[in-house]
Structure 1
Amino acid sequence: MEKIAIVDYGMGNLHSVTKAFELVAEGRADVVLTADPAVVAAADKVVFPGQGAMPDCMRHLDESGLKAEVLKAASERPFLGICVGAQLLFARSEEGPTESLGVFPGEVVRFPPEKMHDAAGHKLKVPHMGWNEMFVKHAHPLWKGIADGERFYFVHSYHFAGADDIAVIESAYPYRFAAAVARDNIFAIQCHPEKSAGAGLQLLKNFVGWDGRQ
């Protein structure tokens, strides 16, 4: 049976991610929440979640001793980044600012106040919080069974930038931004699939069965 390691570096709502994966695995995979680099190294697939401020997340990742194994997993096995775990894969973030893992080029930027108005001119709040539509830019195996325009749950003040060539899913608040990116064995998503009802569970189920190829 394959092992899916959910990386615990001290940042994030890991209980809900773990429970969601246990639900969708349906006996096809052994799901383990771990802070042990050796367990991550031995896993067949790796999930990298996260919540909180980017500088704190990067510091906890360094202090945990997990950074090297996360980078190794991202280079060779099916790998899912969620929320700040997805943001950490980019080269840098405006939050801090922070130098991050550099798996992807580009950066993570804050929603600019001057653009945060809807079509009627009403001010939009940051962080962007709530259910929002997801639009398919490029087909991907992890989106199998999920309708174009399906709603997922977001909580974020920053988003991916400079990611046009790897963006597979977009959302809008109020302008279009990359909500999920993918390259080779990596899929990284800004929203919270573990909190996104049936569509989110479908994405996690797809990851359980994914061989890391696009």
Structure 2
Amino acid sequence: MIGIVNYGAGNIFSLTAALDRLGLRYGMINSEAEFDLYEKIIIPGVGHAGTAMQKLSDTGLVPKIKSLNKPVLGICVGMQLLTEFSEEGNSQLLDIVPLKTLRFRELESKKVPHMGWNRVYSNSGQPLFNGIASGAYFYFVHSYFIEFNPNFTVAYCDYGIKFSAAIQNNNFYGVQFHPEKSGEAGETLLKNFANL
């Protein structure tokens, strides 16, 4: 069963609708003790990384999250929270994956935010992307991106620059795109996470 960290900064409806479509069981995590009820954890997130980190800190759940040894998936801002720092509000984040979240500078012929469908190129053998072709399209909405680093980047996207579309550090995974809004490829990724 999947536990969704409910800290007031996630677009939970679209995520739960996707999990319902897939027949995946889930519940909300509002306290430290509730982490023990679930085998997999999702940290959703939309909006401002600094504000999201403050909301997460206010719950008192940060030490528990950092100590988890079960699979954890951060989605969009939830992925950015896994990094050490964001230029959005010059915010210190969870520092689970030693990467930085940076702002898209003005890109010639590219609009910011990066919004819409784009190709994601995944590493072969990466379990989140089982059954998903490298170069499959996923849906993005973001103005900040996580730097590319081959030690932690398991899939990348190119939007004027190459950036991390998915990251992993041990049992912690993150995806910048919205799998719950990415059609069949996104649903496959959510099923893969549920089966880790």
Q: TM-score range by the shorter chain?
A: over 0.9
1:105 equivalent to 2:98? Answer: yes
Matched to 2:38, the amino acid is A
Given that 2:116 and 2:141 are in contact with CA atoms closer than 8 Å, whether structure 1 keeps it comes out as yes
Match of 1:195 in 2: 181
Q: Does 1:11 align with 2:4?
A: no
* Displacement after TM superposition at 1:189 (Å): 0.6
2:54 to 49, 59, 62: 59
Contact 1:107 1:162 in 2 (8 A): no
Q: Does 1:94 align with 2:105?
A: no
Aligned-residue offset at 1:138: 4.3
CA–CA distance in 1 between the matches of 2:65 and 2:16? 17
Q: Residue by residue, what CA displacement relative to the aligned partner does 1:79-110 show, whole Å, maximum 9, x if unpaired? A: 11110110011111111100000101121001
Question: 2:64 matched to 1:69?
Answer: yes
Q: 1:42 to 1:69 in 2, by over 3 A?
A: farther
| Corresponding residue number in structure 1 for 2:25 | 30
Q: Is the 8 A contact 2:166 2:175 kept in 1?
A: yes
- Residue of structure 2 in register with 1:120 after alignment: none
Query: Cα deviation per residue 1:29-71 (whole Å; 9 max; x = unaligned)?
Result: 5311232322124321101111111111011001122222222
* Counterpart contact for 2:84–2:97, Cα < 8 Å: yes
Question: If the length of structure 1 is used for normalisation, what is the TM-score?
Answer: 0.87
Residues 41 and 69 of structure 1 are in contact (CA less than 8 Å); yes or no, is this contact kept in structure 2?
no
How far is 1:139 from its partner?
A: 2.8
- Percent identity of the aligned residues? 39
The answer to whether the Cα contact below 8 Å between 2:148 and 2:156 also exists between their aligned partners in 1 is: no
Q: Which deviates the most, 4-13 or 135-144?
A: 135-144
State the partner residue of 1:21: 19
**Any idea what the Cα deviations from partners look like across 1:156-192, whole Å, max 9, x if unmatched?**
0111125331111111101211110112212211010
Q: Which of the two has higher C-alpha Rg?
A: 1
Decide whether the 8 Å contact of 1:91 with 1:104 is kept in 2.
Answer: yes
What do you get for the CA RMSD once the two structures are aligned?
A: 1.4
- Distance in 2 (CA, whole Å) between partners of 1:44 and 1:100 is 24
Alignment coverage as a number of residue pairs:
196
1:197-212 to structure 2, matched below 5 A, reads 197-210=183-196
Contact 2:148 2:164 in 1 (8 A): no
User: Given the alignment of the two structures, is residue 152 of structure 1 paired with residue 129 of structure 2, yes or no?
Assistant: no
Q: Which of the residues 150, 164, 167 maps onto 1:164? A: 150
Change (3 A) 1:141 1:162: closer
Letter of the 1:20 counterpart = A
Give the Cα–Cα distance (whole angstroms) in 1 for the partners of residues 57 and 173 of structure 2.
Answer: 22
| Cα distance in 1, alignment partners of residues 81 and 146 from structure 2 | 10
Distance 1:195 1:20, change over 3 A: same
